[in-house]
A and B are shown apart, each in its own frame.
Chain A
Amino acid sequence: MSVNVTESSLDLNTLLSKLGYQPDQIGSLLGADVLMFPKDLESAESSFDDKSVSIKKTIEKQLRIEVLTKQGAKSHYEAQRAADILVPALVFLGVQTFDIGKGIITSWVYDRYLQLRNRGLTPSVALKFVVIDKKKGIRKEVSYEGPAEQLQDTLKNLKLD
């Protein structure tokens, strides 16, 4: 399957308010390059896939990433031991940031793919990103679900502006 790009209606301010962030905190969060969301925004607690830690540490080597949690509530991890690669929902604040971020993500996915392939598995990958670039007036949702080994080539040629 190829990558799917659509217009996004994501309202970040509303979403962050829903998570319990105060206006001054929201201003600071929107200064980041990337935002990582918990799995279920409707849930009383924040939960993350256990691989989220690894992807966050990989991204923060090059970009400023903020992990969003339900304010005042506990956060925990969930693991689905399936042979698929799930990338957490990420919002890239800027097209240039996305261009850097997609390289980081595809390398991370490829490493996971190699680990799983060495165990005789052929993993699929599912991901969904939102890219918001206020200056360029871009608000896109990028999603991909398909063979992990094809992600790199698919995203490499993707241009949003």
Chain B
Amino acid sequence: MPRLSSLRPVRPRTITVLSPEQREILEKGLSNEENGHLGKAASLFQSLYEQMQSANSEVSQDSACMKANADLVLARLEITRNRDEAEKLFRSTISALEVALKIDPYWADYFNLRGKIVAYLHTDFGCKIVRNRGVWEIKCIDVSNALRIPGISRSETFDLECSICKKDPMFCPHVSGEVYDGRLALGIVRHLEIKELSIITPPHVPEERTIGIWPRPLTDGDIRKLYSEKTARQIIDSGVIRCKDLVRIIRKNNLGGVEWVQH
């Protein structure tokens, strides 16, 4: 799990075409962040974001990375004060990074920071399971795993394309996971064909636990069975439960089995 302290601002992909004044703002922002002056750092990143937006199209398209920096440092500032606000800011950081990644989807700094924030949010906050018309749709594989719902194993064929040179990675010089001139080398799957899907039941375990079968939607009745009357009422009234809280109660009560799978 990434630590909060590992969620650090990025340098813009277009740093080489920024003006000396803009680079100075960037360095000041990074220095303030490093010294824990997060509010000041956020103002500087926000100011640079606005300046970059009105620059030429290349810099303007990359400006979202500074918006990401501003939201990220504010999220870190808010985390001990207002977790809801911090979560909103982290999600806004992800959105800004996605905008910045549209131009170059494998820019390593943006790609890695987005991945770290997603992982951090999932483990520290947990994904939101929202009540909709009396049912709670669960789209979290951690809940499936906690309920010991059988996993899926698949057999598939596909082509691979190197994210750097677009060639078959078997015959190119780039190594997956390494960074080349700021870009992350990855094998991109193309022309995927699933040949076979198998349901894997214990004691067999599929290689990947990141894909699987969702649990059936929970009802308010399930929530009442899982929690005390008072807690259940609070959860139902709020309309939101976090995956990690659900996983905790599942493990505590040693729940699991076919009754948790949609038939």
Q: Which residues of A are interface residues toward B (Cβ below 8 A)?
A: 47-48, 50, 52-54, 56-57, 67, 75-83, 116, 119-121
Contacts and interface: CB of A to CB of B under 8 A. Distances in A.
B171 A79 contact: no
Given A48-B170, A75-B170, 8 more contacts: A53-B170, A76-B191, A79-B156, A79-B157, A80-B155, A82-B207, A83-B204, A119-B209
Contacts of A78: 155-157
B171 A67 contact: yes
Contacts of A53: 160, 169-170, 176, 187
A79 B155 CA distance: 6
B153 A82 contact: yes
Given A80-B155, A121-B205, A54 B160 contact: no
B213 interface: no
Nearest to A123: B207
Interface residues of B, number: 22
A54 B176 contact: yes
B158 A83 contact: no
Contacts of A79: 154-158
A48 B170 CA distance: 10
A106 to B, nearest CB: 20
Contacts of B205: 83, 119-121
B203 to A, nearest CB: 10
Nearest to B197: A81
Contacts of B156: 78-79, 81
Contacts, number: 57
List the 9 closest pairs (A to B, CB-CB), nearest first.
A81-B207, A83-B207, A81-B153, A53-B169, A78-B157, A53-B170, A57-B175, A121-B205, A81-B154
A57 B175 CA distance: 7
A82 B206 CA distance: 6
Nearest to A57: B175
B168 interface: yes
B85 interface: no
A119 B142 CA distance: 13
A107 to B, nearest CB: 16
Nearest to A52: B170
6 contacts: A50-B160, A75-B170, A81-B154, A81-B206, A81-B207, A116-B207
B234 to A, nearest CB: 34
Contacts of B160: 50, 53, 77
B208 interface: yes
B245 interface: no
B222 interface: no
Nearest to A74: B159
A51 B160 CA distance: 12
B158 A77 contact: yes
B159 A77 contact: yes
Contacts of A119: 205, 209
Most A CB within 10 A of own CB, among B154, B158, B176, B207:
B207
Most B CB within 10 A of own CB, among A67, A77, A78:
A77
Contacts of A48: 170
A83 B169 contact: no
Interface in B153-189: 153-160, 168-171, 175-176, 187
Contact of A56 (B154, B158, B170, B206): B170
A51 B158 CA distance: 13
A67 to B, nearest CB: 6
A60 to B, nearest CB: 9
A67 B154 CA distance: 26
B117 to A, nearest CB: 22
B189 to A, nearest CB: 8
Nearest to B195: A78
Contacts of B159: 76-77
B97 to A, nearest CB: 27
